[in-house]
Amino acid sequence: MTLNDAHCHFFSAGFFRALGRDVDTAGADAATALPARLGWETPGEPDALADRWVAELDRHGVSRATIIASAPDDEASVAAAVRRHPDRLVGAFMLNPAAPGLDERLDRAFAEPGLRTVCLFPAMHHVPVDGDAVRRVFARAEGARRAVFVHCGVLSVGVRATLGLPSPFDLRLGDPLAVAAVAVRHPAVPVIVPHFGAGRFAEALMAASAAPNVLFDTSSSNGWIRFHPRLSLRDVFARALDCVGPERLLFGTDSSFFPRGWQRPVFESQVAVVEDLGLDPTARNLLFGGNFARVYA
């Protein structure tokens, strides 16, 4: 089985410097001060962090992984990492559609062959998915043959909470049905909804039923399940497989920082679920690697 991971975060020096705008580092470089405060490894330059990631993927037998620039304006870090390891890393970047210069920024990002996915966080940036700015993102993604990732449902950023930073997110904006309303107008665009909709599970299933180009990534521990007392991870997989089939599920872990590295326990828990469900080898191969290879061919 070829194993590909559709959801990892590239916590670069640029990411920590973006966080540092909201944290007192006493004049120190946030790219070293914040990892030290958190007990994490210092990322170094993008090439070094890319090498660290590839060594980690090798250690766990992962063929390819999507790495996400997890702060606005940090796509250059991920682009550099993908240029260093183009056969192993696929680039994705966070975009605030409400920020000035949307069209120009998209054109610059899409000029980088390795940046294959634009990531939208409606609740974080207070931008409705079915508004004009996001429609422009989809139109440009379609023209550039890129994918669009849209975070729906519950949104929490663990590093912000650990550093005591507020997270003034508007969860009302993370509606999968709004994603479907835009996705159906751009059927050639793969639209990735992470974490099975992160608590908006029923709406995510309805959205995927309405828009055949909507895929789910399976990443993280899926802690949103605690908001659904009668739902288990096994139930989530079973219902998703029943509603959309194995061709529209992308395995992911939501791995992010070192030294924790790649989240093997997430992989093992999902393997246990699909084994318990009796998923056949063909379907299993699609989920854990084949669908990734199709989207990022």
Among candidates 190, 238, 237, which has minimal Cα distance to 214? 190
- φ, ψ of residue 65 to 5 degrees: the values are -150, 145
pTM over 0.75: yes
Query: What pLDDT score was predicted for residue 274?
Result: 97
Query: What pLDDT score was predicted for residue 111?
Result: 96
Provide mean pLDDT across the span 236-242.
Answer: 98
Domain boundaries, the chain: 4-295
Question: Considering the chain, what percentage of its residues have pLDDT values greater than 70?
Answer: 100
- For residues 158 and 66, the model is more confident at 66
**How far apart, in whole angstroms, are the C-alpha atoms of residue 44 and residue 125?**
28
Among candidates 37, 39, 36, 109, which has minimal Cα distance to 69? 109
Provide mean pLDDT across the span 25-31.
Answer: 96
Q: 7 by DSSP, 3-state: which? A: strand
Contact 109, 72 (CB under 8 A): no
Provide mean pLDDT across the span 41-48.
Answer: 98
| Choice among 124-128, 159-163, 267-271 with the minimum mean pLDDT | 159-163
Q: How far is CA 204 from CA 110, 216, 285, in A?
A: 27, 8, 23
As a CATH number, domain 4-295 is 3.20.20.140
Residue type, 113: P
Where do the DSSP E strands lie in 46-197?
64-69, 89-95, 115-120, 147-150, 191-194
Among candidates 137, 264, 123, which has minimal Cα distance to 194? 123
Over residues 94-109, the pLDDT tens digits come to: 999 999 999 999 999 9
Query: What pLDDT score was predicted for residue 72?
Result: 85
**How far apart, in whole angstroms, are the C-alpha atoms of residue 144 and residue 99?**
21
Among candidates 206, 212, 205, which has minimal Cα distance to 184? 212
Provide mean pLDDT across the span 184-208.
Answer: 98
